[in-house]
Structure 1
Amino acid sequence: MRQHDRRWWRDSKVIPGETAAAQHHLLVADVVLREKVSRMERKGRSRIRWGNLKGTNITMFKDKVISTTTIHLVGDANRIWEDMAASITQVAKETLGSTTGRTNGNKESWWWNEDVQSKIKDKQRSLRDLLRCTNEGEHWRLREKYKNARREAKKAVTEAKKHSV
């Protein structure tokens, strides 16, 4: 396995005496694979707003965690860890809040008016010209043109979103 894939290995053993070729031996390994979470599943989950952990929320969070968590050092270490993590998560949701898991607004472009569409096309055209340019002097002029087109397109999209809501 590749070096970065070794984190999935749990246990491995080379079986001596079993050779497939002169320089190779049979390797038996326990590999734990995680199922990859798709982008849509990740978007639909509600998440804790850890960014709110500042100012007075820090002391409130700390006090609640200390008061609600009781450490029982009896039993399995995994069970102790799970209990502690569950209580911290619960306190974080109460103190910091959580997202709904839904995405904001309509991100489709079919509702854009002709002005926005023309400015987006101008931006794309100027980017294409910039990327194709090989002359150094011309490159800087096209770069400024692209920056202005990008700025205008962004303003037009913002205005269109403001008026559509």
Structure 2
Amino acid sequence: MAVVVNPGLDRSGKGRELADMMERRKVDILCVQETRWKGSKARSIGAGFKLFYYGVDSKRNGVGVVLKEEFVRNVLEVKRVSDRVMSLKLEIEGVMLNVVSGYAPQVGCELEEKERFWSELDEVMESIPTGERVVIGADFNGHVGEGNTGDEEVMGKFGVKERNLEGQMVVDFAKRMDMGVVNTYFQKREEHRVTYKSGGRSTQVDYILCRRGNLKEISDCKVVVGECVARQHRMVVCRMTLMVCKKKRPEIEKKTKWWKLKKEECCEEFRQKLRQALGGQVVLPDDWETTEEVIRETGRKVLGVSSGRRKEDKETWWWNEEVQDSVQRKRLAKKKWDMDRTEENRQEYKELQCRVKREVSKAKQKA
């Protein structure tokens, strides 16, 4: 599971780029914030991933959860509380897993808005039975800080810099709900703990939380450096193991291509073959079951059947080699700029960003 912030899904091709990143990084569940999509829907973003989202304004806020296709059928409940809090309940081989995506107000926002966010998050947590697993992926816009003196029960030592008021709210919430701040339990280089980087500022504001009793199921948690799906935020990845049996994917039934009857030549051939199969009779016999089977068999022979494979995702048709190559170049340029922030590297990254947008637009027009 992972949490990524401000992916800018309103921009051309970003949803498909996000799906590609999830597939490449082997991420099954992803919490996203600041999606800036208005509405409360679920839609495919390609590569076998589906986004459940909620937003009331296309210019700010918005939260969502992206699931790998095999987990979509396991969704029992979707709670869209506000454009800052939403949750999904999944049943995986009898194990109940609640995934919560949150986006806390920034430091400069009114106290009333901050209290509303924490109240909504409290309500979601209180509605979940204590025996069910909970994982929260959120941009809390706060610094829990380095060290854990006095707070050992809810966090580790490996935060970043000093705690602020908003970070204290995160710690207080963890204590109320008996949860642990997962990021802080794993000793990593600071570069793999910093979740937000802009100009000369670098800090940790994005966190994954889970019940303290389930911390043993998490084997690793770190920040992934080098991805460019989000502009300033970095993806936090958490590896969580649930001891469940994997279900076999059901086969899709092969279907006769009846739509070919719209073509005159196919329709005429079907008529002739059907007459032959019925023994030259123009009037159908009284035995409808026999007649039905003759019609179906003739249709299969003349019109053919589908392959039985899954349909291609709606947003996959334009994801061609040129687009993938441009995205790969952009990703490498972002990594290069992160390592050496010269004006030349910044300019190269900006040019490749524009190139990706052009390639996506061109590919969609051709398809």
Q: Is the TM value for this pair above 0.5?
A: no
- Considering only CA atoms, is the larger Rg found in Structure 1 or Structure 2? 1
TM-score (norm 2): 0.18
Higher relative contact order (CA 8 A, sep 6+): 1
Structure having the larger proportion of residues in strand: 2
Q: TM-score, normalised on structure 1?
A: 0.36
